[in-house]
């Protein structure tokens, strides 16, 4: 009976068209062309590598897409327990009519060839969007992206700022910034001017958010102009002062927060990733984390920018209670999705329950796909909807006597309504 209730709620939630508020979609090639685009997703390559497949086989330069899939498929047998492989099967079932319960060495080739034919259709992208009920997806744009050649209402620009905050000491970053803005970043004032120009460019092209991923130890704070100038000077002269990169990071980050205030953009913070922990790992499968982090590091930021909304993702699941609590107290802190290593049902369920029990309903963005190819929105949102439906059924309809309609309305708000409200889209 509870299962029937859950099924009815899932059905209602499935009817809600989605805006996906964080993806890595390339708007010039949003959908997959072959199964290699799907199996090439870092979740599969890193799991296959972790289970024993040498990186050299996965990442052989110039490897043919079909050959890549041929090499990965046998390894799926070691991964079929993972929720990531369950997404793969759901995609193959829903998009390509696959109806075996596993992808194996004996059935993969038919799947590969058949799916390639379907993906070759001129309207494949539209088919995927329609079947996935996707109205719009947010992008992750480099700061020097021209933002041309695509429909910015469907593919919503979002200014990704990791390079600016963490890599300004690199000559190539400064060159890209100068090229994009016409401003050489020699002084704090130059940097501010250049970043202001980037914001203007993104705003003119319909950007709805600024975003960044941050290491666990990062602590934002204001930096004096003098200190910023010194740090910039060190960067340009390759001086060895080991503090300069940190000062510069803080300065650029704080300047970006000021621009978010000025231009009315939310600032998505994705907190807690250590980059390149496993240097022998596959592409995008090298990053991990240190659970010893705290939102207390963001205390000064949240106080200084009451007019900026901060949708926050945490990488460590143990950070979720802090996120619940900070969102419960700070008007400008919003919970955002279930990121990366926390994006499995066991963790989503705890996060979802605690957020729905403790955070105002208008301050929760339930889910984003983080996808690189459009096909992934379908199984990922489906996973989230099932967890959400279970929580709505058990904690609201059963435990609190809510009507199904009321529970579904709460689900609609965290799935869709708050995306529109927080990002004004």
Closest distance to a copy of itself from the beta carbon of 349 (Å)? 9
* Residues 63-102 as x/- pattern, contact with a copy of itself by CB under 8 A: ---------------xxxxxxx-x--------------x-
Span near a copy of itself by CB under 8 A; candidates 12-20, 104-112, 253-261, 340-348: 340-348
Which of 179, 261, 171, 251 lies closest to 218 in space, CA to CA?
251
Task: Label the pairing between strands 310-314 and 273-274.
Answer: unpaired
Q: What angle do CA 423, 424, 425 make, to 5 degrees?
A: 95
280 binds a copy of itself (CB under 8 A): yes
Q: What angle do CA 418, 421, 425 make, to 5 degrees?
A: 110
* Residues pairing with 155 in the sheet: 137
* Residues 359-378, interacting with a copy of itself (CB under 8 A): 359-363
* Cβ-based nearer residue to a copy of itself, 78 or 109: 78
* Cβ-based nearer residue to a copy of itself, 364 or 369: 364
Backbone angle region of 182, left / alpha / beta, with phi > 0 → left and psi within -120 to 50 → alpha: left
Residue 17 CB coordination number (10 Å): 13
* Cβ-based nearer residue to a copy of itself, 159 or 422: 422
Q: Give the separation between CA 309 and CA 271, rounded to whole angstroms.
A: 15
Near a copy of itself by CB under 8 A: residue from 63, 261, 344, 382: 344
* Cβ-based nearer residue to a copy of itself, 10 or 235: 10
Closest distance to a copy of itself from the beta carbon of 360 (Å)? 4
* Residues 48-67, interacting with a copy of itself (CB under 8 A): 49-52
Which of 268, 272, 313 lies closest to 292 in space, CA to CA?
272
326 binds a copy of itself (CB under 8 A): yes
Closest distance to a copy of itself from the beta carbon of 53 (Å)? 9
Near a copy of itself by CB under 8 A: residue from 34, 161, 317, 336: 317
110 binds a copy of itself (CB under 8 A): no
What are the b/e assignments for 62-99, b being 16+ CB within 10 Å?
eeebbebbbbbbebbeebeebebbebbbbbbebbbebe
- Chain centroid to CA 134: how far? 16
* Cβ-based nearer residue to a copy of itself, 136 or 387: 387
Closest distance to a copy of itself from the beta carbon of 258 (Å)? 18
Task: Label the pairing between strands 273-274 and 18-20.
Answer: unpaired
Site size for a copy of itself, by CB under 8 A? 76
Q: Could you tell me if 267 and 256 are in contact, meaning their C-beta atoms sit under 8 angstroms apart?
A: yes
* Residues 382-421, interacting with a copy of itself (CB under 8 A): 386, 395-396, 399-402, 406, 410
Near a copy of itself by CB under 8 A: residue from 316, 389, 393, 408: 316
* Cβ-based nearer residue to a copy of itself, 199 or 376: 376
- Could you tell me the CA-to-CA distances from 19 to 133, 138, 139, 351, 424 in Å, in that order? 9, 8, 11, 21, 12
264 binds a copy of itself (CB under 8 A): no
């Amino acid at each position: 009976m509870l299962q029937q209730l859950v099924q009815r709620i899932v059905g209602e939630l499935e009817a809600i068209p989605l805006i996906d508020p964080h993806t890595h979609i390339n708007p010039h090639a949003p959908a997959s062309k072959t199964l290699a685009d799907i199996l090439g997703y870092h979740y599969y390559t890193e799991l296959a590598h972790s289970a024993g497949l040498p990186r050299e086989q996965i990442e052989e330069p110039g490897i043919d897409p079909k050959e890549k899939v041929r090499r990965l498929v046998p390894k799926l047998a070691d991964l079929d327990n993972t929720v990531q492989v369950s997404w793969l099967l759901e995609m193959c079932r829903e998009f390509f009519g696959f109806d075996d319960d596993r992808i194996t060495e004996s059935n993969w080739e038919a799947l590969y060839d058949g799916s390639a034919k379907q993906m070759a259709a001129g309207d494949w992208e539209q088919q995927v969007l329609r079947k996935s009920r996707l109205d719009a997806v947010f992008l992750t744009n480099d700061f020097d992206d021209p933002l041309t050649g695509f429909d910015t209402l469907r593919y919503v620009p979002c200014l990704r700022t990791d390079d600016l905050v963490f890599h300004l000491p690199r000559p190539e970053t400064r060159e890209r910034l100068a090229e994009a803005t016409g401003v050489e970043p020699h002084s704090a004032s130059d940097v501010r001017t250049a970043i202001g120009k980037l914001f203007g460019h993104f705003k003119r092209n319909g950007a709805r958010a600024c975003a960044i991923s941050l290491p666990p130890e990062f602590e934002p704070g204001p930096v004096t102009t003098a200190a910023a100038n010194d740090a910039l000077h060190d960067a340009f002269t390759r001086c060895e002062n080991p503090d300069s990169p940190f000062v510069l990071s803080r300065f650029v980050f704080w300047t970006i927060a000021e621009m978010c205030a000025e231009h009315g953009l939310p600032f998505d913070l994705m907190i807690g990733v250590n980059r390149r922990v496993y240097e022998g790992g596959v592409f995008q499968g090298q990053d991990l984390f240190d659970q010893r982090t705290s939102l207390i590091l963001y205390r000064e930021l949240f106080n200084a920018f009451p007019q900026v909304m901060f949708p926050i993702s945490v990488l460590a699941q143990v950070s979720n209670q802090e996120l619940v609590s900070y969102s419960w107290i700070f008007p400008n802190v919003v919970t955002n999705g279930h990121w990366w290593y926390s994006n499995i049902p066991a963790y989503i369920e705890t996060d979802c329950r605690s957020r729905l029990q403790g955070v105002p309903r208008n301050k929760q963005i339930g889910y984003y796909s983080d996808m690189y190819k459009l096909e992934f929105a379908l199984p990922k949102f489906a996973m989230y909807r099932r967890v959400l439906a279970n929580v709505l059924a058990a904690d609201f309809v059963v435990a609190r006597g809510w009507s199904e309609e009321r529970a579904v309305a709460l689900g609609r708000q965290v799935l869709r309504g708050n995306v529109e409200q927080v990002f004004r889209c």
